Structures are given as structure tokens and as C-alpha cells.
């Protein structure tokens, strides 16, 4: 798939990613992401959507926020709460030139990396914009949720409009896969939080009467089998070594 065709597909589907954070749930993915941002931080928000999180960062956490998104209308909306805004595709490098020379305490990828053609390259490039003690905060869906495994046991891998197998997701990770990707580029995912949904309660749930009971018993022993989304806080490895001294 070319970048242009992928961009057209994303533009047609982004309306489903709109939220309201007026009553922020601290146990939600957004709540857990924002809990990692210190008051007064300088933030680069990659994939700002309409600015629901930008608004919270600016008004509630008193941050200085720069934003990036691919949808022009969303960038204009988020720009009301941002110091600077850039409309463009993270898969290409226009944003790198636009923000050249800037450093950030925190860079956010909230449910973004799984939509990108080159997530590892984008994450590596983002590291150039981190302050020495800065952090990259990432949330991703867990492809290893029990509901996915059950369906695969029965030879099913079905995309949906939303959720873990959202039909605009291009990349998938389990816990260890993401940690290994970070290691390859010099990041350490030093902190991990999660949002969980019990087996049989996600959009990928199967008919419980049709599931092999031995399979269900086996899945009960998986430590992360009911994790729906992971939230990682990542530092550069050299920063992590300094912290541990």
C-alpha cells in the first residue's frame, strides 16, 4: 500500500477517534497516559485528533503543547489549545523539519503507532526531540488478548470498525514485542500500565457455548491475557542508566 493510498484511507476513517475528556476517568487509557505527564511540561502530541487531550494538557496540566495530525480539520481544532500545530503524515518527515531544533519533556503517541506504515522509524526519529531526561508515552492495543487467541484457535482473524483489530491498524504488538522494538532503537520501556477487559467481553468475543473448555482453562493462566491496551513510559537507555546510578 502506498503512503498516498494509506493517507486517503485514514482520512476517511478518522471521525471514529473523537473523545471528550471533561470527566477524565483515571483508569482509562487517556487517564493513564496523562498521569505520566508532569505539570508544566513541554509536550509533542503525535496524533492529536480534534484536540481533546491537547485541551486537557494545556488547561489542566499547564503544558506547552505542539501537535501533529494528518486531518486538517482536527489540526485546526487542536491548534486552539496548542503552541504550534503541524498538519501532515507521520509516515513522512515533514513534521521533523517543522519542529527541527525543539526539545520536549514528553512525546505522546496515544493509540497512534499501530496506524503507521513505519512505526519503529517514527519512534526512533521522535527520540531526537527528547530532552535528556524526557519520556515517550505510548499506548497500543494488545494483540495477545485472550479473545484474539480464541478466535485464532478456530482459524478466525477478523477486523472490526473499532478495537484491537480496528480496520485501520497496520501493526500489532504483544508486551515483549514492543519492549524488543524499543530496545532496538535505544529506548527502554521502563514502566508499563494497562487497561484490561475480561475474556469474552471485547469486540472480538466468541460464543462461550462454542469454546473448548480446556482452552479456556489454559488461557486463565496467562498473566497478560486480559490486557486490552498497554500504556508504556519510555526513556532513552542512557537516561535510564543515569537514573539507576
What pLDDT sits at residue 2?
46
Of 38-42, 60-64, 102-106, 205-209, minimum mean pLDDT range? 205-209
Beta-strand pair 64-69/130-141: unpaired
Q: Which three cell numbers stand for residue 226?
A: 486480559
pTM above 0.85, yes or no: yes
The structural domain count of the chain equals 1
Q: Which three cell numbers stand for residue 188?
A: 527502554
Report whether pLDDT(103) > 50: yes
Mean pLDDT of the 111-116 span = 98
Contact 77, 121 (CB under 8 A): no
SS (H, E, C) 36-99: CCCCCCEEEEECCCCCHHHHHHHHCCCCEEEEEECCHHHHHHHHHHCCEEEECCCCCCHHHHHC
Q: Which three cell numbers stand for residue 160?
A: 472490526
What pLDDT sits at residue 238?
76
Closest CA to 137 of 96, 195, 193, 74: 193
d(CA 111, CA 46): 10
Angle at 58 between CA 123 and CA 38, to 5 degrees: 60
Mean pLDDT of the 130-156 span = 97
What pLDDT sits at residue 3?
45
Q: pLDDT digit string (tens) for 51-63?
A: 999 999 999 999 9
Q: 114 phi and psi, to 5 degrees? A: -65, -15
Report whether pLDDT(15) > 60: no
Percent of the chain scoring above 90 in pLDDT? 87
Structural domain harbouring 125: 3-244
Phi/psi region, residue 224 (left: phi>0; alpha: psi -120 to 50; beta: rest), is: alpha
Exposure of 174 by Cβ count < 10 A (0-12 exposed, 13-18 middle, 19+ buried)? middle
Which band of pLDDT confidence, cut at 50, 70 and 90, is reported for residue 12?
Answer: very low
Mean pLDDT of the 89-94 span = 96
- Crossing angle of helices 175-185/119-126, nearest 10°? 50
Can you give the length of the chain in residues?
A: 245
Q: pLDDT digit string (tens) for 217-229?
A: 999 999 999 999 9
Query: The domain that contains 96 carries what CATH number?
Result: 3.40.50.150
Closest CA to 93 of 63, 61, 120, 125: 125
Report the helix count and the strand count for the chain, using DSSP H and E: 10, 7
d(CA 231, CA 34): 10
d(CA 106, CA 116): 20
Of 6-20, 92-106, 161-175, minimum mean pLDDT range? 6-20
Q: What is the mean pLDDT of the chain?
A: 92
Amino acid at each position: 500500500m502506498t503512503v498516498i493510498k494509506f493517507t486517503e484511507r485514514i482520512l476517511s476513517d478518522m471521525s471514529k477517534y473523537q473523545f471528550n475528556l471533561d470527566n477524565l476517568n483515571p483508569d482509562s487509557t487517556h487517564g493513564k497516559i496523562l498521569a505520566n505527564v508532569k505539570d508544566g511540561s513541554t509536550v509533542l502530541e503525535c496524533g492529536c485528533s480534534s484536540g481533546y487531550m491537547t485541551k486537557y494538557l494545556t488547561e489542566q496540566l499547564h503544558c506547552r503543547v505542539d501537535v501533529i495530525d494528518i486531518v486538517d480539520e482536527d489540526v485546526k481544532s487542536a491548534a486552539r489549545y496548542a503552541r504550534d500545530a503541524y498538519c501532515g503524515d507521520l509516515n513522512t518527515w515533514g513534521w521533523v523539519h517543522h519542529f527541527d531544533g525543539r526539545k520536549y519533556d514528553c512525546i505522546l503517541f496515544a493509540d497512534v503507532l499501530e496506524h503507521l506504515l513505519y512505526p519503529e522509524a517514527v519512534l526512533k526519529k521522535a527520540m531526537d526531540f527528547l530532552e535528556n531526561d524526557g519520556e515517550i508515552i505510548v499506548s497500543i492495543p494488545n494483540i495477545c488478548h485472550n479473545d484474539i487467541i480464541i478466535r485464532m484457535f478456530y482459524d478466525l482473524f477478523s477486523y472490526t470498525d473499532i478495537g484491537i483489530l480496528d480496520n485501520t491498524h497496520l501493526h500489532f504488538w504483544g508486551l515483549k514485542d514492543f519492549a524488543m522494538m524499543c530496545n532496538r532503537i535505544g529506548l527502554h520501556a521502563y514502566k508499563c500500565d494497562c487497561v484490561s477487559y475480561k475474556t469474552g467481553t471485547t469486540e472480538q468475543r466468541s460464543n462461550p457455548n462454542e469454546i473448548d473448555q480446556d482452552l479456556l482453562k489454559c488461557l486463565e493462566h496467562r498473566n497478560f491475557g486480559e490486557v486490552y491496551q498497554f500504556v508504556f513510559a519510555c526513556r532513552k537507555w542512557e537516561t535510564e542508566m543515569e537514573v539507576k546510578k
